[in-house]
Amino acid sequence: MQRGKRRIAAVLSAALSSLLLALSFAAPPAHAATHNPVVLVHGISSSASSWNDWVANFAADGYTAAELDAWSYSWSQSNVTTARQLATEIQNVLARTGASKVDLVVHSMGALSSRYYLKNLGGTAYVDDFVSVAGTNHGTSTASLCAWLYTSCAEMQTGSSFLTALNSGDETPGAVTYASYWSNCDEAINPDSSALLSGATNVGVGCVSHTDTNNDPGIYEQVRAFVQ
């Protein structure tokens, strides 16, 4: 009788071992998500290539190519049109990566379309961290130089109807975590304080030129730590 029980136990043990082995081959352990994809939005008279240094830095810090999306758009058009295109771009990134949210890092005028997306197009549901780098958040007097040529530039003028609506009420809506990095000698943003956002973590980076703010290695380190 004991011999029979031992034989049954041995058979059951062998069957269980075989089942566990089969499951280990059939279902490899899932890998935890590493990073939110980073969508980078350039400013006026620029392109995705303005982010080349930071894209390389993110990659060196372990981000995959799929997790880095430096996006180009037609910068002369209305920031409202760009915001709608950005909404589509972010949905494409989420579908491609399987992520639920992105981190949105923007430069200069890119802050305007991105903030319009967050405030008016439901973007707060799809963005975890928002980083404005030398963003023209409250306009700049230098926009008068190109306002007569480009819709986007006219919207960037201090006191424009676009900016008045964008900055009415909550400047940092939703559960998004906001930061704004600004220079105290920014030749493109006048006054420099225009870059600040009410409700955001506002960080002065010292005297860095406008065109260098989104390729500066020191600012990158701060941005990288913020979105981590």
Quote the pLDDT of residue 226: 98
The average pLDDT across 180-195 equals: 96
Rounded to 5 degrees, φ, ψ at 156 are -85, -5
CA torsion through residues 57, 59, 61, 67, sign:
positive
Quote the pLDDT of residue 34: 81
For residue 185, what are its two tokens? 């000698």
Q: Name, in order, each residue with C-beta under 8 angstroms of 176's C-beta and a sequence gap of 6 or more.
A: 118, 124, 127, 128, 129, 130
- The CA distance from 183 to 73, in Å, is 25
Beta-bridged to residue 201, according to DSSP, are 179
pLDDT band at 197 (very low <50, low <70, confident <90, very high): very high
Quote the pLDDT of residue 130: 98
For 128-172, the pLDDT digits (tens) are 999 999 999 999 999 999 999 999 999 999 999 999 999 999 999
- Residue 72: burial class (beta carbons within 10 Å; 0-12, 13-18, 19+): middle
Tally the C-alpha atoms within 13 A of residue 52's C-alpha that lie toward its C-beta. Answer: 5
Please list, residue by residue across 187-215, b when 16 or more beta carbons sit within 10 angstroms of its beta carbon and e when fewer do.
Answer: ebbeebebbbbeebebbebeebebbebbb
Q: In this structure, are residues 3 and 48 in contact, taking their beta carbons and an 8 Å threshold?
A: no
Flag whether pLDDT at 110 surpasses 80: yes
For 82-97, the pLDDT digits (tens) are 999 999 999 999 999 9
Average pLDDT value over all residues in the chain: 89
The average pLDDT across 68-77 equals: 97
Flag whether pLDDT at 208 surpasses 50: yes
Q: Name, in order, each residue with C-beta under 8 angstroms of 59's C-beta and a sequence gap of 6 or more.
A: 65, 68
Tally the C-alpha atoms within 13 A of residue 17's C-alpha that lie toward its C-beta. Answer: 6
3-state secondary structure of 219: helix
For 15-61, the pLDDT digits (tens) are 445 444 444 444 433 334 489 999 999 999 999 999 999 999 999 99
Quote the pLDDT of residue 15: 45
Flag whether pLDDT at 218 surpasses 50: yes
Quote the pLDDT of residue 7: 53
